[in-house]
Amino acid sequence: MRYNGLLLIISPLLLSCGADDGGARDANEPRRGFEPPVVTNPEAPVIYPEDLYEDQVEGLVLLHLFVNEDGTIVPDSTRVEESSGFPQLDSAALQSVDLLRFAPARRDGVPVATAFVQPVHFRHPDLAARAENQ
């Protein structure tokens, strides 16, 4: 059974923005003329592991990704930046990378390659509904 009962939060944390970045920057620092990559999938392609879904286990996985100038993920650059603490959630997030589609990052309107951290939130819908009702 497939469970897509999660939220994929699409707010990448930038690590760099191309070869002429001029050095490291604070991820929260605004970059003039820079637009981060944007996920274009209409729905989150990440599958919640069935046993963790049934146990209502939640977690956050941070994935380190690199997209080239056309928005294609460079597979060799993909890794878990920060674990959820649940190897099955980490694996599910990693397995989804091939299914993620991105519009490329842009600097002054020109597509650029960039590295960034993509958060993947596994949130159980029953827990979210309970939190809203409290």
User: What does the block give as tokens for 33?
Assistant: 């003329």
Of 7, 20, 12, the residue nearest 63 (C-alpha): 12
DSSP-derived 3-state class of residue 85? coil
Query: What does pTM read for this prediction?
Result: 0.76
Interval 3-44: pLDDT, tens: 454 444 445 555 444 444 444 455 545 567 899 999 998 888
CB-CB contact of 111 with 104 (8 Å): yes
The pLDDT tens digits of the residues spanning 51-60 come to: 999 999 999 9
Percent of the chain with pLDDT over 70: 72
Domains in the chain, CATH or no CATH each:
13-23+34-132 (3.30.1150.10)
| Phi, then psi, of 102 in degrees rounded to 5 | -125, 145
